[in-house]
Chains A and B, each alone.
Chain A
Amino acid sequence: MAALGSPARTLRGLLRELRYMNAATGRPYRETAAYRYLVNSFRAHRVTSEKLCRAQHELHFQAATYLCLLRSIREHVALHQEFHGKGERSVEESAGLVGLKLPHQPGGKGWEP
């Protein structure tokens, strides 16, 4: 069995991802179908006994997987926008990526016409 931590923590993480998603569109995240479905299924599968319940574990595993999916997509898109998909970089930017700077000479390099 994979250790997943507490279900409340997973739910909080999922709600945070929903907030990120709906922040851009400006609509409250509590009105989305995903919010209602998640909260309902977390409520429905809440069991009070301490015994290991297979169905509950399965649901928690799916929730954790979904959380991983949403979080990874968000971070992947952020990295994609930062580094990829904008065509070729300028020489300065390429140098900056590896921590270098282009040489700068105030009076010109001397060989220009």
Chain B
Amino acid sequence: MWRTCLRLRDEGRRLLNGPRRGLIASVRPAPNPPTQARAYAPPTERKRFYQNVGITQGEGGFEINLDHRKLKTPQAKLFTVPSEALAIAVATEWDSQQDTIKFYTMHLTTLCNTSLDNPTQRNKDQLIRAALKFLDTDTVCYRVEEPQTLVELQKNEWDPIIEWAKERYGVEIGSSTSITGPSVPARTREVLTSHLASYNMWALQGIEFVVTQLKSMVLTLGLIDLRLSVEQAVLLSRLEEEYQIQKWGNIEWAHDYELQELRARTAAGALFVHLCSESSTVRHRLLQE
């Protein structure tokens, strides 16, 4: 059924793009439809075609070698990353693939590819705006009115992190129970925009990725500023779901599956931000005689 949906969508797109053939010909399927590969659905797994994974330091940064071939991005650029730790983490990702390469588990590689290729062609301002858009509908600012236990849970768990963010950035962040959400003052937006502008493009890609995972700007800031660990941030992001699990029971193939995926994605994003934004200055402690 899923396949039919995709095929239908494909037909629809062809209609939108303007019929190349006659309208009737495009609606009625050809007697022997050619099996064409779908460009927008890359294979999720492929055979592991290499034995050894290595790292070399090139001009633009660190490169990954699969046997004797250099790793490339989907747009055929050379894969280079700015930090050694990130290169090692990416190489470990490739090396840990067993018989098949599971691209859906290689979050750091994906993030590097996105930063290198920038497939959506966004600049820094657009990235910041996309991340800050989540502040209007921030998870921790939306509160429920009933049941009472959940109201108290949200108050106890979410208020401290909002207080921390207010103090840390000197801004006003309110919470609301209405469907329209809290109104965010213009000054808050300005302060956070200028704060995010201090990060480089790579780190911003990572920040936007984390924000879209956690659906919360406040939690992301807590994660980037080392206030929350990944596990805590994910727990706070899924607070209502955790409450419902407590009440109705846990389903391994839905709840645990999503939890682990969210944790993996969030951890990858946070690590990516930290590794890309740090300046590697090594200060040796002077020995006191």
Q: Which A residues have a C-beta under 8 Å from some C-beta of B? A: 1-4, 21-22, 24-25, 32-34, 37, 41, 47, 55, 57-58, 61-62, 64-66, 68-69, 72-73, 75-77, 79-80, 82-84, 97
Contact = CB atoms under 8 A, between A and B. Distances in A.
B184 to A, nearest CB: 26
A17 B267 CA distance: 15
B221 interface: no
23 contacts: A1-B227, A2-B229, A21-B96, A33-B88, A34-B91, A37-B84, A37-B85, A55-B283, A58-B226, A58-B278, A62-B275, A64-B230, A66-B89, A66-B271, A69-B107, A72-B263, A73-B107, A73-B260, A75-B256, A77-B105, A82-B253, A83-B253, A97-B253
A72 B267 contact: yes
Nearest to A45: B282
Contact of A68 (B95, B105, B108, B231): B231
Given A32-B95, A76-B260, A76-B261, A65 B88 contact: no
A2 B228 contact: yes
B252 interface: yes
Given A58-B274, A69-B107, A77-B105, 11 more contacts: A4-B229, A34-B92, A61-B226, A62-B274, A64-B229, A65-B230, A66-B267, A72-B260, A72-B264, A75-B260, A97-B253
A33 B92 contact: yes
B145 to A, nearest CB: 31
Nearest to A55: B283
B6 to A, nearest CB: 16
B71 interface: no
Contacts of B232: 2
B101 to A, nearest CB: 12
Interface in B242-289: 252-253, 256-257, 260-261, 263-264, 267-268, 270-271, 274-275, 278, 283, 285
B166 interface: no
A100 to B, nearest CB: 15
Contacts of B85: 37, 41, 62
B263 to A, nearest CB: 4
